[in-house]
């Protein structure tokens, strides 16, 4: 027993093990509650249910942030909230890509939650690996932060001037590779990702992937691509792996819940990408500002980030509403 107590007070990535266990326990509880009780049966998640579930996840994330503030100090609390808000905002683009993936595979609405749920398990692992690697790099080579900063600046500027292009999921190289290499059924088999089917003239039963598995793989791939932007952005806010990881995961958990409300109106956020681009430029520039002028007040960073995103949302809703009215008047 003494050995157990000693273990939980050991440090892991700069924090006692018990603090990590608190977070893991909360996430596991949320996942069990989600799939084990709230969504045990496949069903279509409506906008109302999506908003309620998302509000619940956001409330949990905010309460966790309050605990971080109380236990680790105000600066850590502000960094957590800023990281959460930035990740939440950057992930909005992911909603559009996920909706394209579901449309391409014609995933029935009642099965979409299952893909998102199992997808989040992959996200938890992949983000953990990426953040762990990032923390190791920052700890060993502090100058890597300036690489992150330059990357964010360039990415933000590129987003500002990039033209909107149609995304063709079918042309994705990984998807084409998977279709060539694995057997895939020509229809869905309920919520199963793989099923046994007779193959060839012999009729031997072999495990065969369903289109649902391909959709899951593509969702995971999309998150991996978006993580290339979001992980450096969070490290630009704080280099504390605990704050980086917890803010990341809580933001993603809530966004997956919000997907079913956002997917139907994602076109209304057409101009949000410019706000996200400015956020990346601001966060990337903050790294170099800190080197020259000193560390800015975390509250200012949170305020600027919130103002940019809120402005992007308001402008998007206003402009698309005007465009819709103009089109209706013609």
Q: Can you give the pLDDT at residue 86?
A: 84
pLDDT reading at 56 higher than 70? yes
CB 285 within 8 Å of CB 155: no
Environment class of 41 (CB within 10 Å of its CB; exposed 0-12, middle 13-18, buried 19+): exposed
Distance CA(195)–CA(184), nearest Å, equals: 10
Tens-digit pLDDT profile for residues 215-253:
888 888 888 877 777 788 888 888 888 998 999 889 888
Q: Cβ atoms within 10 A of the Cβ of 219, count?
A: 25
Q: What is the pTM of this model?
A: 0.82
pLDDT reading at 71 higher than 80? yes
Distance CA(323)–CA(167), nearest Å, equals: 23
Distance CA(53)–CA(26), nearest Å, equals: 16
What band does 120 get if pLDDT is binned at 50, 70 and 90? confident
Report the C-alpha dihedral over residues 265, 270, 275, 278, rounded to 10 degrees: 140
């Amino acid at each position: 027993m003494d050995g157990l107590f000693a273990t939980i007070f050991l440090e892991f990535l700069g924090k006692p093990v018990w603090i990590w266990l608190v977070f893991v326990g909360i996430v596991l509880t949320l996942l069990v509650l989600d799939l084990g009780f709230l969504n045990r049966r496949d069903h279509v998640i409506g906008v109302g249910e999506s908003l309620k579930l998302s509000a619940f996840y956001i409330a949990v994330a905010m309460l966790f942030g309050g605990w971080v503030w109380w236990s680790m100090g105000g600066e850590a609390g502000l960094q957590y909230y800023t990281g959460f808000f930035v990740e939440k905002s950057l992930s909005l683009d992911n909603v559009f890509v996920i909706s394209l993936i579901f449309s391409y595979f014609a995933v029935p609405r009642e099965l979409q939650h299952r893909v998102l749920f199992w997808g989040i398990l992959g996200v938890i692992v992949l983000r953990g690996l990426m953040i762990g690697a990032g923390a190791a790099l920052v700890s060993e080579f502090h100058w890597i932060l300036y690489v992150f900063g330059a990357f964010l600046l360039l990415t933000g500027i590129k987003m500002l001037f990039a033209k909107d292009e149609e995304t063709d999921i079918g042309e994705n190289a990984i998807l084409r590779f998977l279709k060539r290499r694995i057997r895939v059924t020509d229809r869905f088999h309920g919520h199963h990702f793989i099923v046994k089917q007779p193959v060839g003239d012999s009729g031997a039963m072999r495990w065969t992937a369903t289109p649902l598995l391909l959709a899951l793989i593509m969702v995971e791939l999309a998150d991996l691509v978006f993580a290339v932007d979001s992980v450096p952005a969070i490290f630009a806010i704080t280099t504390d792996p605990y704050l980086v990881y917890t803010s990341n995961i809580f933001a993603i958990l809530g966004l997956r819940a919000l997907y079913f409300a956002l997917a139907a109106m994602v076109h209304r956020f057409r101009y949000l990408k410019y706000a996200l681009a400015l956020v990346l430029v601001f966060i990337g520039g903050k790294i170099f500002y800190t080197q020259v002028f000193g560390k800015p007040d975390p509250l200012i960073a949170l305020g600027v980030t919130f103002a940019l995103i809120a402005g992007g949302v308001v402008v998007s809703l206003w402009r698309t509403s005007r465009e819709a009215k103009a089109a209706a008047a013609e």
